Structure 1
Amino acid sequence: MKPKIDKFVLAIICIVILAYFFPFWGSQNSPVPLNLIGSIGVSLIFFFYGLKLSPEKIKSGLKNWKLHLLVQASSFVLFPLIVIAIYPFISSESNLTIWLGFMFLAALPSTVSSSVVMVSIAKGNIPAAIFNASISGLIGIVITPLWMSLFLKQASNDFDLGSIYLKLITEILLPVILGIALQRYFGDFARKHLRLLTLFDKSIILLIIYKSFAQSFEENVFNSVNMVDLLLILTAVIILFSVVYFIIGKFATKLGFDLEDRITAQFCGTKKSLVHGTVFSKILFKNTASVGVILLPLMLFHFIQIFIISIIASKLERQAVISEV
Structure 2
Amino acid sequence: MARRILFWNVIRKQWLLVGIVICIIFACIYPKLGSKEGPLIPEITVKYISVPVIFLVSGISLRTETLFYTFQQYKLHLFVQIFTFVCIPIFMQFLVIILRIFGVNPWILKGLITVACMPPPVSSAVLLTKSAQGNETAAIFNSVLGSFLGILVTPISLLFNLGYTTLVPIFSTVFQLTVTVLFPLLLGQVLKKYTEIREHNMPLNTISQLALLFVVYTTFCDTFMTADIGLDAIDVLITVALVLFIHFVLIVISFRCAWYFRNYFNASDVVAITFCSTHKSLTLGIPILRLMFQGYSHLHQISLPLMVYHPIQIILGGIMGIQMKDWIQKQSIRRLPI
Does the TM-score normalized on the shorter chain lie above 0.5? yes
- Relative contact order, higher structure (CA 8 A, sep 6+): 1
Q: Which residue of 2 aligns with 1:50?
A: 59
Q: Which residue of 1 aligns with 2:169?
A: 160
Deviation for aligned residue 1:274: 10
Deviation for aligned residue 1:161: 2.9
Are positions 1:234 and 2:244 aligned together?
yes
Q: Which residue of 1 aligns with 2:198?
A: 188
TM-score normalised according to structure 1 size: 0.71
Q: Which residue of 1 aligns with 2:109?
A: 95
Q: Which residue of 1 aligns with 2:148?
A: 142
Are positions 1:75 and 2:80 aligned together?
yes
Counterparts of 1:248 and 1:79, CA distance in 2: 13
Q: Which residue of 2 aligns with 1:15?
A: 23
Q: Which residue of 1 aligns with 2:129?
A: 115
Deviation for aligned residue 1:271: 1.2
Counterparts of 2:147 and 2:177, CA distance in 1: 7
Q: Which residue of 1 aligns with 2:68?
A: 59
Q: How many residues align?
A: 302
Q: Which residue of 1 aligns with 2:295?
A: none
Is the partner of 1:162 in helix, strand or coil? helix
Note if contact 2:144-2:177 (Cα within 8 Å) is conserved in structure 1: no
Deviation for aligned residue 1:239: 1.4
Deviates more, 1:152-161 or 1:299-308: 152-161
TM-score normalised according to structure 2 size: 0.69
Note if contact 2:117-2:158 (Cα within 8 Å) is conserved in structure 1: no
Report the residue type matching 2:74 in the other structure: L
Q: Which residue of 2 aligns with 1:268?
A: 272
Q: Which residue of 1 aligns with 2:306?
A: 294
Are positions 1:304 and 2:313 aligned together?
no
1:28–1:264: structure 2 CA closer, same or farther, 3 Å change rule? closer
1:40–1:244: structure 2 CA closer, same or farther, 3 Å change rule? closer
Note if contact 2:62-2:137 (Cα within 8 Å) is conserved in structure 1: no
Give the % identical residues. Answer: 12
1:282–1:190: structure 2 CA closer, same or farther, 3 Å change rule? farther
1:115–1:10: structure 2 CA closer, same or farther, 3 Å change rule? same
Deviation for aligned residue 1:142: 1.4
Counterparts of 1:191 and 1:277, CA distance in 2: 33
Deviation for aligned residue 1:270: 0.7
Structure 2 unpaired stretches of 5+: 1-9, 101-105, 292-298
Deviates more, 1:202-211 or 1:277-286: 277-286
Is the partner of 1:192 in helix, strand or coil? coil
Q: Deviations over 1:89-109 (max 9, x none)?
A: 4762222223333443x6446
Counterparts of 2:27 and 2:186, CA distance in 1: 34
1:235–1:276: structure 2 CA closer, same or farther, 3 Å change rule? closer
